[in-house]
Amino acid sequence: MLVGIGDFLLLPILLYAYLHWVLSQKRTHALGIALLLSALPLGLRGMNMLDEMAADSEFSADPYYNQTLSSLNMHAKPALPLDEYLKKAAQELPPLTTE
């Protein structure tokens, strides 16, 4: 976050330094012109950062169904023991025939 603030301050400071020391503008004029010239690029960058933050809160790398499943789900049926599962599977499957 601190890096982002430094980037926002860098452009106006550099413009101010250029206008004041290179072009010999008065301090108030140099500051006003620097803020005016840096407003559009900084505004666009700020809007882009806000869009990224909004997109990060709206979208997730995990699919929705992955967020709804839980091993602590109280509505899930308990697991069957292996011998019961094999009995039920044998009842449901057709008998094997060897011809």
pLDDT, tens digit, 9 for 90 and up, residues 17-35: 888 788 788 888 888 888 8
- Looking at the domain assignment, is residue 36 inside a domain? yes
- For residue 43, tell me if it sits in a domain: yes
Number of domains in the chain: 1
Which range of residues forms the domain containing residue 31?
A: 21-54
**Is residue 1 pLDDT above 50, yes or no?**
no
- Residue 44, domain member (yes or no): yes
> 75 or 2: which carries more pLDDT confidence?
75
- SS3 readout for the chain: CHHHHHHHHHHHHHHHHHHHHHCCCCHHHHHHHHHHHHHHHHHHHHHHHHHHHHHHHHCCCCCHHHHHCCCCCCCCCCCCCHHHHHHHHHHHCCCCCCC
